[in-house]
Amino acid sequence: MRHFIIVGILVIATAALTYFGLTAVGLMPVEASVQSLAIDWLFNYEIIAISFLFALIVVPLFYSLIVFRRRKGETGEGEYFEGNTPLEIGWTVAPLIVVIAFAYMGTYSLGEVRRVDPNAMEIKVTGFQWNWRFEYPEYGVTSNELHLPVNRQVVLKMESIDVLHSFFVPEFRMKQDVVPGRVTEYRVTPSLIGDYKVRCAEMCGTSHAYMGAPVIVSSAQDFDAWIKLQNAPADPVANGQKIIATNGCLGCHTIDGAKLVGPTWKGLYGKQETLADGSTITVDDAYLAESIVNPTAKIVQGYPPVMPPFNLKDQEIADVIAYLATLK
Amino acid sequence: MKRFFSSALMRGLFWQFIGTLVGAGLVTAIRAAMGLSVTDKFFFTEPAWVLGAFFGVLFFMVGTGVTSDWIKWARGIDPPEHHEERFQGWEKYVNISLDHKVIGVQYAITSLALICIGGLFALIFRTELAQSQLQFLTTDLSLFGQNGPQLYNTLMSLHGMIMIVSILLGIASAMNYVIPLMLGAQDMSFPRLNAFSFWIAVPAAILLLMSLVLGGFDTGWTGYPPLSARAPVGMQMFFLGVFTAGWSSILGALNIIVTVVRMRAKGMTAFRMPIFVWAAIATSIISLTATQLIGLSFQMVMFQRLFGMGFFDPGKGGNPILFQHLFWFYSHPAVYVFVLPGLGIISELLPVFVRKPLFGYRWIAMSSMAIALVGFVVWAHHMFTSGMNEYLRVPFMYSTLLVAVPTGVKFFSWIATIWKGKITTPTPMLFVLAGIVAFLMGGLSGPPNATVSVDLHLHDTYMIVGHFHDTIFGGFVFPFFAALYFWFPKATGRRMNETLGKLHFWLMTPAFFVLTLGMMRIGLLGMRRRIVDYDPAMGFDSTHMVLTIAAFLIALAVLIFLYNFFNSIKNGEKAEGNVWNSRSPEWQVPSPMPAHNYDQPFEVVGEPYDYGLAGSKYVEFIKSEKSAHN
């Protein structure tokens, strides 16, 4: 009996120390979304359970190792008892109740995380190797930065044009895979003004580690000001440059003459190129436009036919070509 | 040396090389006849490499001679029923043997070799991760057609799969060596199939390593399409390597089940079997029935690449998420394949070193079966963020949390076993204890991943990496070392050096806990898994440096172990008796074990773990004129 009392006290003390130690260290990043509250709420209870169970096993283990160790010169065997059915039933049923409770709490927490605000602002997100593009259909704005107004739910409708990616902002506590061929949804209500970063959390190839984009949570006024700035008319060359940046073209093409998967754009405009079938062609507006909309129609010799078609508006194509023409 | 080069192993490798050339040549000839391109970046085209790899495996198996008895049967020739050992000493282990003990040792050595290779890969990329930015795996580097980050991806992916194969071989070694001895059988049910199961793992490992030099691949060990449908030729070698290793696992499991069902000693009823046998049965049921799914999922990607069958290509109506379901249907239960035998070893060894009965034997036996069965309905918890039907996440959360119940039964029973024992802590017991604590850390860090909302944050971070390494070290690595130290005298008649064993333990264990706790720490803060570089602004640099040092300490400890292991075979202290004072039948006869095991059959006359019950015995040898090998 004495052993049980000592171990009981030690278990409670160790559990308390473990819990307060873990929470004092600070386990999670800042809470920057409404959803993170429901997640951290559940996680806190999990840490309590973990601290207790840790103590419940480790304390009697080390206590036994010290108190029941075989001392020098001691012979004989341990105390003979080979089981106790009520005890076994007890430590089967009690954990069963605990895990069902946690599953219930988990369901509740998930419900909170997925709570829908019918007035949520929709943003279209496209993931590609190796960047993100954000479109605001309400405002007709496209950007490589995700700007969000604080305290307003946004729903990200996400798609990938190539492989799997995953949208992960640790401060929001959530990630969601981005899958080619389907639209996945990420609902978040930012609650803390600040600069964060979305990083790809699903292995997507060579530059996976660097696939990130700024996430800027700002006041409603600052957000509106940013939208206004985006809508100001830009000159065609600058706009073309932006379209190229937001479509990830520079993953395969360079502007400095280096050869990647696709031909470099340096000095491309107006150049004579030999095609895969041996014929030659002058790179003019019509050829460039065709190569954007239907890239595999005329492949330059020595390059693989791997570029996906890009569905740009006529004005956008003209702007891109205007930009390409500046790359002498 | 000459005898080494004429061994079955070297013969097999030679024929694998020839087979690869023949297969690749065949496809190249057909392509040339059809006017298709005949060479590519890595000399042969991808279809040529695939058929070459396949032929290589076939040629290896026939070349070693492991299939020769079957070929003789097919031709109507009767080979002798009992093969006598033709080789002595080390030569036994590089040639074909049908003795389960020799095969057990072959498995163990191959497993250790793969642990070293997989560990070396880990050290390479761990060193790169010690600091943010790229230090030596830079974009300027070019090795095997890969730049630095690509090589990182390949090494990281191969670390995963090579370690998995080494674990499968490690548990096979323990099961193969120990189970027939525990059952009182002369050998496994199907000795030729047993040899086949081991030998096919060798070309499988070669294929996995070939992927490194054929352009590598960057998907991680999971091989998710569409990325795996676009990766270099190395991807195909990886798929074929896993596919081939799967045969080893499936056939080995079949053999274990049949052996346990058919070849138990007289009186060994189900609940008088050693507890390790229960664990092996639970594991084998999973291996036998689930391994096909990983083979299938990889084969489908292979065919998507080779024949344009768009199973997972959304452009052709395929579905990338289907792959994840098929893949995890094996790969989740697979982690129970990895840990159940190790947990069985813990349950098996604890009573010996605490001199007390195993507390709640039947509950522990049934908990292994419960884990195995529940393990089949939890796979989608790997996919909470994948974009699958979101309501399905809730039932999978419930089923996953249920795994905690039988796992808890094991922990509580172990503690009750230790309670009021007379505990000694030689090296095997130290590893058993570390296994319990490490598996506890893995077990406790699991449930947060199972609750969907928290997993939205934890998924694909270092939290998962830390959790996984805890479960695998607790469920496999520590118990595997415990088993090696424990059964080493049985296999060699000598024991391993105790001082070096303790040094191995005290170097590895603290370093390991620093490693996994550090991983979990930065994982919670947002460190993603599988990245070659991380943002210095996140402030992970110092932690990563500590993790890298810890990894090197573990490697040093394993080197000490290897020295101790190979040195003790010849120079260890003689230990031919019942060194651990165990009740198990294999320790009731002198070590090392003779070729066909027991000279006299035994009968089970008591409970396996009645330590401390005066006058009780587990087995009694039957005195008989007609016993098998007089």
Residues B453, B344: one domain?
no
Question: What domain count does chain A have?
Answer: 3
Per-residue pLDDT tens for B162-201?
999 999 999 999 999 999 999 999 999 999 999 999 999 9
- Rounded to an integer, the average pLDDT of B271-283 is 96
**What would the two tokens of residue B3 be?**
């005898």
Q: Do A250 and A155 fall within a single domain?
A: no
Last residue of a domain, one of A231, A248, A280: A231
Q: Verify that B61 and B148 share a domain, yes or no.
A: no
Contacts of A209 in chain B (CB under 8 A): 149, 528, 531-534
Torsion of CA B328, B331, B333, B339, to 10 degrees: -150
User: B314 with B386, same domain?
Assistant: yes
How many angstroms away from the CA of A234 is the closest CA of chain B? 33
Residue B156, pLDDT > 60, answer: yes
Chain segment B411-428, per-residue pLDDT in tens: 999 999 999 999 999 999
Q: What is the CATH number of the domain that holds A198?
A: 2.60.40.420
Q: SS3 sequence, B519-581?
A: HHHHHHCCCECCCCCCCHHHCCHHHHHHHHHHHHHHHHHHHHHHHHHHHHHHHCEECCCCCCC
The two three-digit tokens of residue B85, written as one number: 């050992």
Residue B85 within any structural domain of the chain: no
Bridge partner residues of A196 (DSSP): A215
Averaged confidence pLDDT in chain A: 91
**How far is the C-alpha of B268 from the C-alpha of A97, rounded, in Å?**
36
Q: Which of A84, A95, A106 sits opposite B408 (nearest CB)?
A: A95
3-class DSSP assignment, residue A168: strand
| Nearest chain B Cα distance for residue A12, angstroms | 17
At residue B465, the 3 state secondary structure works out as helix
Q: pLDDT tens digits, residue range B479-529?
A: 999 999 999 999 999 999 999 999 999 999 999 999 999 999 999 999 999
* Same domain flag for A129 and A179: yes
Q: What is the mean pLDDT of residues B357-376?
A: 94
State percent of chain B over pLDDT 90: 88
Looking at the structure, tell me whether residues B132 and B189 fall in a common domain.
yes
Minimum mean pLDDT range among B173-177, B333-337, B594-598: B594-598
Smallest Cβ–Cβ distance between B423 and the set A57, A68, A197 belongs to A68
One-letter amino acid of A16: A
Of A61, A70, A83, the CB nearest to B424: A70
- Distance, in Å, from the CA atom of B375 to the CA atom of B332, rounded to the nearest integer, reads 7
Q: What is the pLDDT of residues A64-117, one digit of tens each?
A: 999 999 998 888 888 898 889 999 999 999 999 999 999 999 999 999 999 999
Mean pLDDT across B566-574: 94
**Closest CA in chain A for residue B608:** A82
Report yes or no: B397 at the A interface, CB cutoff 8 Å.
yes
Give the residue from chain B lying closest to A170, CA to CA.
Answer: B526
Which of B315, B436, B531 has its CB closest to that of A209?
Answer: B531
Shared domain for B320 and B411, answered yes or no, is: yes
Contact B314 A61 (CB under 8 A): no
pLDDT at B628 over 60: no
B344 touches chain A (CB under 8 A): no
Question: Are B59 and B180 part of one and the same domain?
Answer: no
Residue A268 forms part of a structural domain: yes
Of the candidate ranges B80-84, B391-395, B626-630, the one whose mean pLDDT is the lowest: B626-630
Tens-place pLDDT, residues B431-463: 999 999 999 999 999 999 999 999 999 999 999
Read off the pLDDT band of A267 (50, 70, 90): confident
CA A31 from centre of chain: 16
Determine the pLDDT at residue B385.
Answer: 95
Which residue in B480, B474, B559, B476 sits closest to B513, CA to CA?
B474
Task: Give the confidence band of A313 by pLDDT, cuts at 50, 70, 90.
Answer: confident
CA distance A315 to chain B (A): 27
- Which residues have a Cβ under 8 Å from the Cβ of B599 and sit 6 or more positions away? B589, B627, B628, B629, B630
Question: Which of A283, A15, A35 has its CA nearest to residue A156?
Answer: A35
Q: Does residue B531 share a domain with residue B394?
A: no
Please check whether residue B303 touches A, CB under 8 A.
no
Asked if residue A29 and residue A91 are part of one domain, the reply reads: yes
Residue B197 resides in a domain:
yes
pLDDT at B82: 67
By C-alpha distance, which of A149, A325, A323 is closest to A241? A323
Alpha helical stretches, state H, B272-403: 275-307, 320-354, 361-374, 393-402
User: In chain B, helix, strand, coil percent, each to 5?
Assistant: 70, 5, 30
**β-bridge partners, A154:** A121, A188
Residues B589 and B611 in one domain: no
* pLDDT value of position A274: 86
Identity of the residue numbered B45: T
Confirm whether B259 is domain-assigned. no
The pLDDT, as a whole number, for residue B309 is 92
Q: Which residues does chain B have within 8 Å of residue A188's beta carbon, measured at their own beta carbons?
A: none
Domain span at B590? 422-597
Q: Do A141 and A222 sit in the same domain of this protein?
A: yes
* Residue B624 pLDDT level (bands cut at 50, 70, 90): low
Q: Does B118 lie in the same domain as B209?
A: yes
- Cis before residue B226, ω within 30 degrees of 0? yes
Please tell me the predicted confidence (pLDDT) of residue A153: 96
**Residue A78 belongs to a domain:** no
Looking at the structure, tell me whether residues A246 and A278 fall in a common domain: yes
**What pLDDT shows up at residue B625?**
56
- The shortest CB-CB distance from A106 to any of B150, B226, B452 is to B452
**Residue B327 — φ and ψ, nearest 5°?**
-65, -50
Partner B contacted by A60 (CB < 8 A): yes
DSSP H or E segment with residue A124: strand A121-128
Query: Are A83 and B320 within 8 A, CB to CB?
Result: no
Q: Are residues A59 and A150 in the same domain?
A: no
Q: Could you tell me if A214 lies within 8 Å of chain B, comparing CB atoms? A: no
pLDDT of B6 reads 86
Q: Are residues B444 and B586 in the same domain?
A: yes
Residue B630 has a pLDDT of 41
**What CA–CA distances, in Å, run from A71 to A4, A65, A74, B529?**
21, 11, 5, 47
* B263, pLDDT greater than 90: yes
Does residue B123 sit in the same domain as residue B243?
Answer: yes
Instruction: Provide Rg for chain B, Cα atoms.
Output: 25
Q: Do A209 and B149 touch (CB under 8 A)?
A: yes
Q: What is the mean pLDDT of residues A52-58?
A: 96
Distance between CA atoms of residues B446 and B469, nearest Å: 12
DSSP H/E element including B412: helix B404-418
> Which among B390, B436, B530 is the nearest to A203, CB-wise?
B530
pLDDT: which is higher, B625 or A194: A194
**B137 touches B205 (CB < 8 A):** no
Q: Any chain A CB within 8 A of the CB of B581?
A: no
Q: Is residue B444 part of a domain?
A: yes
Chain A residue numbers touching B440 (CB-CB < 8 A): 54, 57-58
Give every CB contact of residue B600 below 8 A, 6+ residues apart in sequence.
B621, B622, B623, B624, B627
Same domain, A109 and A6: yes
User: Could you tell me if A215 and A133 lie in one domain?
Assistant: yes
- Is B507 in contact with B556 (CB distance < 8 Å)? yes
Interface residue A314 vs chain B (CB under 8 A): no
- Residues 399..458 of B with a Cβ closer than 8 Å to A: which? 401-402, 404-405, 408-409, 411-413, 415-416, 418-425, 433, 436-437, 440, 444-445, 447-448, 450-454, 456-457
Percentage of residues of chain A with pLDDT beyond 70 = 99
Structural domains of chain B, count: 5
B320: nearest Cα among A201, A176, A186, A181: A181
- Does the residue A319 lie in any domain? yes
Query: Averaged over B43-63, what is the pLDDT?
Result: 95
The whole domain housing A140 covers 121-231
> Which of A232, A212, A219, A230 lies closest to A135 in space, CA to CA?
A230
How far apart CA B435 and CA B472 sit, in angstroms, is 9
Q: Can you give the pLDDT at residue A304?
A: 78
Task: Tell me what the mean pLDDT of segment B368-392 comes to.
Answer: 93
Confidence of residue B626 (pLDDT cuts 50, 70, 90): low
